[in-house]
Chain A
Amino acid sequence: MTDTHDTPRTRSLRLGVAGPVGTGKSSVIAMLCRKLNEEFTMGVITNDIYTDEDARFLRSAGVLPSERIRAVETGACPHTAIRDDVTMNLLAVEDLEKDFAPLDIVLVESGGDNLTATFSPALVDAQIFVLDVAGGGDVARKGGPGIARADLLLVNKIDLAEYVEVDVEQMVKDAQSARDGRPVLALSKKMPDTVEALCEWVRQLHAAHSRGVHTPTDPGPMAPHFHATDEGGYEHSHESGDSSGEHAHH
């Protein structure tokens, strides 16, 4: 059935953007669409809690043709929609990939929930977790699955740091030590060099994904996930003894 399989040419890099409400997920997505528009064809799925506000914001930002931005309604359970029951999101991503094939990257914005919500690897290939300095310098230290193990942690709105009395360098250092060396980037939409660093991270991720060398790492327990190959890719799951996410793939 066409509905249940990833067809080779239409499989994109699926990149989740999670993090608490207001930390800047929609802004990061708008930024990526604006900056990477010419290199990649992109699509966006938003997961709103009460409305399609995020989808509307992104459409009005004019960063993508508006039909490539779609909203999934999560029935006030944004964490369920990206973790325990990803079916609605999965179908939305696949529809987008099919309708605008070939898409290089589909960005999925989680409905801002709390610090514990992370994407299932059955839904995305990689995920960014967004914090902001306004939430306080000690949030990064407190950890949690998203902060500790997302593929990338963003410390956003660093232009506001002085107003909220946060030491950005310290916050980034705390985040790094909570993450065992996984990448952390400080970001402000007002500082072009930080925006460029984020874009470069996405470029490298996309390159790794296309070559089939990117392995989804799951902040939570491992679930079936996808590997791109020349023939399109395949999905597989891991045996219980193989949950480190650091096994070799070919």
Chain B
Amino acid sequence: MTPNAALLLLADGRLPAGGYAHSGGFEPTARLQGLNDAAALEDFLEGRVTTSGFVAAAFAAAACAAAHAGNIGRLGQLDPELDARMPSPAVRAVSRALGRQLLRVITRIHPHPVLATLDPHAHQPTVFGAAAASFDLSPQDAALAVLHETITGPASAAVKVLSLDPYEVHSALARLTGLLDELAVRAAAHALDDPDQLPADASPLLDIAAEHHRSWDVRLFAS
């Protein structure tokens, strides 16, 4: 039986891991690219989830598989590979901060030996994957949770950044569910790839936006 309830727990935005403080690049992108309606948000979400979101999902799947196999060495190889896929120092720092926060929460709520083997500053996808494994979830589950987080974070930030109808925002999320399932399957297919062969789809505008955002004096979100 798939531990579905554990997957819901892990993917729930109410998990106290500090995700609420981030917009996943939506705040700076909305300003820099002039995004101002639900259609633009949906395009943004689709772009994010198919690029950096997909990379994160593939790494989470790989981390999950490595954790299941007790392959600590392989788990440790994922973070440098993720660093190499994040040209923006701001994006890298946020990914590690979110990973650290998630690790803190999971270690506290569901202690498991595999968590203790992680670098305390591991990237978020790595922690997600190991956490999923600690709940006996599959690499595909880990990928799906990460993809879900990739779009729900910016979507809930968007209703604070722009004047959007929250129903329209969730309609966009509803339309993207099929894409998420499909991407989760594709990401999980990479679970056993050599770390340097894992997907490397890029989202350069998000990297540029993150660097701009860092320098703003006034912002709603931390990223």
Q: Are A87 and B120 in contact (CB under 8 A)?
A: no
A75-B157, A75-B221 known; A3 and B120 CB under 8 Å? yes
- Check: B105 CB closer than 8 A to any chain A CB: yes
- Check: B103 CB closer than 8 A to any chain A CB: yes
A2-B120, A75-B157 known; A80 and B219 CB under 8 Å? no
Distance in angstroms from A83 CB to nearest chain B CB is 10
| Chain B residues with CB under 8 A of A91 | 100-101, 104
- Check: A76 CB closer than 8 A to any chain B CB: yes
What 1/0 mask marks residues of chain A from 69 to 102 whose CB sits below 8 Å from any chain B CB? 0000111110011001111101100000000000
Distance in angstroms from A98 CB to nearest chain B CB is 12
Across the interface, name the chain B residue whose C-beta is closest to A94: B104
Q: Are B220 and A85 in contact (CB under 8 A)?
A: no
Across the interface, name the chain A residue whose C-beta is closest to B23: A75
| Chain B residues with CB under 8 A of A87 | 16-18, 101, 104-105
Q: How far is the CA of A86 from the CA of B16 in the complex (A)?
A: 7
| Chain B residues with CB under 8 A of A81 | 21
| Chain A residues with CB under 8 A of B160 | 76
Q: How far is the CA of A74 from the CA of B22 in the complex (A)?
A: 9
| Interface residues on chain A, number (Cβ under 8 Å) | 20
Q: Are B21 and A90 in contact (CB under 8 A)?
A: no
- Check: A240 CB closer than 8 A to any chain B CB: no
A3-B103, A91-B101 known; A75 and B222 CB under 8 Å? yes
Q: Are B20 and A77 in contact (CB under 8 A)?
A: yes
Counting chain B residues whose Cβ lies within 8 A of the other chain, the interface size class is 20 to 34
Q: Are B116 and A1 in contact (CB under 8 A)?
A: yes
For B14, B100, B220, the residue with the greatest tally of chain A CB atoms inside 10 Å of its CB is: B220
Q: How far is the CA of A88 from the CA of B20 in the complex (A)?
A: 11
| Chain A residues with CB under 8 A of B18 | 85, 87-88
Q: How far is the CA of A85 from the CA of B120 in the complex (A)?
A: 19
Query: What is the total of A-B residue contacts with beta carbons within 8 Å?
Result: 61
| Chain A residues with CB under 8 A of B14 | 84-85
- Check: A244 CB closer than 8 A to any chain B CB: no
What 1/0 mask marks residues of chain B from 185 to 223 whose CB sits below 8 Å from any chain A CB? 000000000000000000000000000000001111110
Distance in angstroms from A71 CB to nearest chain B CB is 10
Distance in angstroms from B123 CB to nearest chain A CB is 15
- Check: A170 CB closer than 8 A to any chain B CB: no
- Check: A57 CB closer than 8 A to any chain B CB: no
Across the interface, name the chain B residue whose C-beta is closest to A4: B107
Q: Are A80 and B101 in contact (CB under 8 A)?
A: no
- Check: A50 CB closer than 8 A to any chain B CB: yes
- Check: B108 CB closer than 8 A to any chain A CB: yes
Distance in angstroms from B30 CB to nearest chain A CB is 14
Q: How far is the CA of A42 from the CA of B147 in the complex (A)?
A: 42
Q: Are B16 and A50 in contact (CB under 8 A)?
A: no
Distance in angstroms from B75 CB to nearest chain A CB is 15
- Check: A229 CB closer than 8 A to any chain B CB: no
A1-B120, A87-B105 known; A76 and B220 CB under 8 Å? yes
Q: Are A75 and B120 in contact (CB under 8 A)?
A: no
Q: How far is the CA of A87 from the CA of B18 in the complex (A)?
A: 6
Q: How far is the CA of A75 from the CA of B97 in the complex (A)?
A: 14
Distance in angstroms from B222 CB to nearest chain A CB is 4
A3-B120, A73-B222 known; A85 and B104 CB under 8 Å? no
Distance in angstroms from B79 CB to nearest chain A CB is 15
Q: How far is the CA of A51 from the CA of B221 in the complex (A)?
A: 10
The B-contacting residues of A in range 37-54, CB under 8 angstroms, are 50-51
Across the interface, name the chain A residue whose C-beta is closest to B117: A1
Instruction: Give 19 pairs: A residue, B residue, CB < 8 Å, sorted on A.
Output: A1-B107, A3-B103, A3-B107, A50-B219, A50-B220, A51-B217, A51-B218, A75-B20, A75-B157, A75-B221, A75-B222, A76-B220, A80-B20, A84-B14, A85-B18, A87-B17, A87-B104, A87-B105, A90-B104
Q: A4-B107, A75-B221, A84-B16 are in contact. List 7 more A-B contacts (CB 8 A).
A: A1-B116, A75-B157, A75-B220, A76-B220, A76-B221, A87-B18, A90-B104
Q: Which residues of B contact A (CB under 8 A)?
A: 14, 16-18, 20-23, 100-101, 103-105, 107-108, 115-116, 120, 157, 160, 217-222
Closest 4 CB pairs of A and B: A75-B21, A85-B16, A73-B222, A3-B120
